[in-house]
Chain A
């Protein structure tokens, strides 16, 4: 038996072709995402190639997915840890308003950014405490706080849109560095930070352990309560960042912003990217590919004049399709 095992071992490592090893590095899942992306590009390119491939439209797609990108990455971390945060859209709404109000009151962009991040973090802390110590199911807890945060956004703004008159702050939303919009730079930077954090840091690896099997994580000395609260705070801060970017892009804080199904798109992207809703599985690279697919789909549907209402059908179906595919793979292995 021993010799047999050793023999299969050597054949497995010895005979592997370089192309296969390359494929393994990128990951089968990510390759299928790239294929799906290519198919979408092909479809919309054939239908509206004139507009679709213009540099302006490609930049539009890039700009359109920055905010979703940040949310999809933080959602990936939450799902890997075995949780879910559907309050992120509401937190975006709350933080755009508070950022705008802080800038209006002080005239300082820094104060606005600080307000957005701190308030986002506080909102996440509330979620984390309710879920971890109140032992409330994550979906239910964040469903409740989603309504609460949205309510607070309307209350503090009195339901009004708040304009931002700070050119420095607006630069975040519309400025360019080296020809690329600043928003895209921010997305790339955030992606690198998230990737290193989740894939390489000890804390990130412990998050995989926590989501993969909380019992094992606890036996291994990981303080799982502190991790859980921390992860929701992180998700809140990331939503705060998304809120700031949205405020900078639109030049105003609007309590209704973030209510166009941002959480739906973020969760869809994360699951498309290979997250298992049971936790313990998922990558930042996958989430970004998921975001790209959603971005191209959104853009393509507008270009090909798909009515708005039908776009909703497509988005909802995409989430369910992604989960069905993920479950199918999970049950097969």
Chain B
């Protein structure tokens, strides 16, 4: 398609074994709202980072008309007229509204002094154009503003600096309904003025309402690029997740036993009033979008986040609050989502990492006993076929899949009763994935209860006895086999406006 505007031409980007973007071409148009949708990990953020110049594509180019342009850092893309408004606005809280909007181009008096008078005049003009005079004053400190107002400041800054293409990454996730409506009217006005808008959101109703064109990404590939009229939430959701469920995700046995973990009314700063039960030998899936509070629920159960309210029991015995140690003693193991920062000591060996939680079994009189540690870790490493020269290899040198196996070995060494796995297959290759699925099946068959947090729908559907769906830090639905399907999960995972939330809880 011939255009004289920004376009992406056959962009590919790979991170290790993960193909984040695969030959994606999109032409942006002035005066158009283009919605970008896809599951977590579909490649939306990677595409925004390439557009903004944070990452360079492996192959493919960003074009303006037919001229290739290369951004080596975000400043270059800003100069070219591309602005990405991130979920967390980049605002200096201790400066005023006016300074934040005009940062980098503050009007000067005699070359050195700040011309407050002119700055205020200019700011008032900008505020008036956006109808924001009632919301903030030029001299107000940004630390006194709410999230919606901060986002508005970032938008005003982008427009003021002459943005031709403005991308919004999940802008409404922290906004109230009223604030969101006002943002939409701003976006519509920008469109009328000829700005090209890229709009990323999980809220499909918003997308249909706002967009002229909808692009769907799945596993890094562009699967659909069509006009928004006539699209429905169902058709988009189907395009987003439409994969065949491979034989990969199977379990040999489905037998759950006595109740194991019981959580009642658990509340922390990030999750609200969560109650759930896990039986022995059961796999409980937890679904939800990014930021739904799934990892935070895991951190609440293992005592990492401060428990404000609620009770946790293992086989009827209460687990003390705010102490990961108490959770471990109670038989709970936790493999966090962020392996590099929350699970592994990257510069220590496999042996050190795997024996970290069993000091009692790997020591004599308080001193580390290498022979004992090898006796425990070697069979586990063999069982999971961890690929490394030897157990003294630094964990940082292993592949993602093998790193994950080291984390699992650490917990298996403790012989836990309950294992919480947060995105256990993120960023690992398909072979290691299959091995981890087999392990989950085996562990469940041996009577261990498992909580599986995952963004990969086929994984949840294939492995879980039951699935809890989370949104906004709460559980919004509970699905049981065989009624677990992607569309239903997705429907309950969408953040709901506060007013209609009551009706969604089943």
Contact = CB atoms under 8 A, between A and B. Distances in A.
A9 B350 CA distance: 15
Contacts of A208: 345, 348, 352
B368 A202 contact: yes
B345 A6 contact: no
A248 B9 CA distance: 78
A196 B344 contact: no
A215 B362 CA distance: 22
Contacts of A177: none
Nearest to A280: B347
A308 interface: no
Interface string A203-239: 1011011001101101111110000000000000000
Given A212-B345, A219-B304, A13 B367 contact: no
B171 interface: no
Contacts of A6: 387
A202 B363 contact: yes
Given A13-B390, A206-B359, A218 B344 contact: no
A293 B54 CA distance: 45
A150 interface: no
A254 B328 CA distance: 50
A281 B302 contact: no
A219 B410 CA distance: 12
B367 A202 contact: yes
Given A2-B387, A215-B342, A218-B324, A281 B367 contact: no
Nearest to B389: A9
B431 A220 contact: no
A221 B348 contact: no
A216 B345 contact: yes
A201 interface: yes
B388 interface: yes
A222 B345 CA distance: 14
Interface in A8-23: 8-10, 12-13
B342 A13 contact: no
- The SS class assigned to the B binding surface is loop
Contacts of B387: 2, 5-6, 9
A219 B388 contact: no
Given A196-B367, A213-B341, A221 B324 contact: yes
Nearest to A199: B368
B111 interface: no
B334 A219 contact: yes
Contacts of B389: 8-10, 12-13
Given A13-B390, A209-B356, A200 B367 contact: yes
Interface in B319-349: 323-325, 327-329, 334, 336, 341-348
A219 B345 contact: no
Interface residues of B, number: 35
A237 B324 CA distance: 30
Contact of A203 (B304, B366, B431): B366
Contact of A223 (B325, B367, B390, B431): B325
A222 B431 CA distance: 33
B337 to A, nearest CB: 12
Given A202-B359, A208-B348, A212-B348, A219 B431 contact: no
Sorting the interface of chain A by its residue count into under 10, 10 to 19, 20 to 34 or 35 or more gives: 20 to 34
Contacts of A200: 367-368
Contact of A281 (B323, B327, B347): B347
Interface string B396-427: 00010000000000100000000000000000
A13 B429 CA distance: 26
Nearest to A330: B347
A266 B48 CA distance: 49
A266 to B, nearest CB: 24
A2 B431 contact: yes
Given A12-B389, A201-B367, A201-B368, A280 B345 contact: yes
B357 interface: yes
Nearest to A14: B389
A219 B411 CA distance: 11
Interface in A178-215: 196, 200-203, 205-206, 208-209, 212-213, 215
A209 B387 CA distance: 23
A1 interface: yes
Nearest to B365: A201
Contact of A219 (B324, B346, B362, B366): B324
A219 B343 contact: yes
Nearest to A16: B389
B366 A216 contact: no
Contacts of A203: 366
B342 A202 contact: no
B342 A219 contact: yes
A1 B428 CA distance: 13
Interface in B464-492: none
Contacts of A196: 367
Contacts of B348: 208-209, 212
A123 B299 CA distance: 35
Interface string B119-148: 000000000000000000000000000000
A220 B356 contact: yes
Nearest to B362: A202
Given A6-B387, A196-B367, A202-B367, A219 B336 contact: yes
B299 to A, nearest CB: 9
Contacts of A201: 366-368
Nearest to A5: B387
Contacts of B346: 212-213
B357 A1 contact: no
Contacts of B359: 202, 205-206
Given A5-B399, A213-B344, 12 more contacts: A201-B368, A208-B348, A212-B347, A215-B341, A216-B343, A219-B324, A219-B342, A219-B343, A221-B325, A221-B328, A223-B323, A280-B345
Interface of B: 302, 304, 323-325, 327-329, 334, 336, 341-348, 352, 356-357, 359, 362-363, 366-368, 387-390, 399, 410, 429, 431
17 contacts: A1-B431, A5-B387, A6-B387, A8-B389, A9-B388, A10-B389, A201-B368, A212-B347, A213-B344, A213-B346, A216-B341, A216-B345, A220-B328, A220-B356, A221-B325, A221-B327, A280-B347
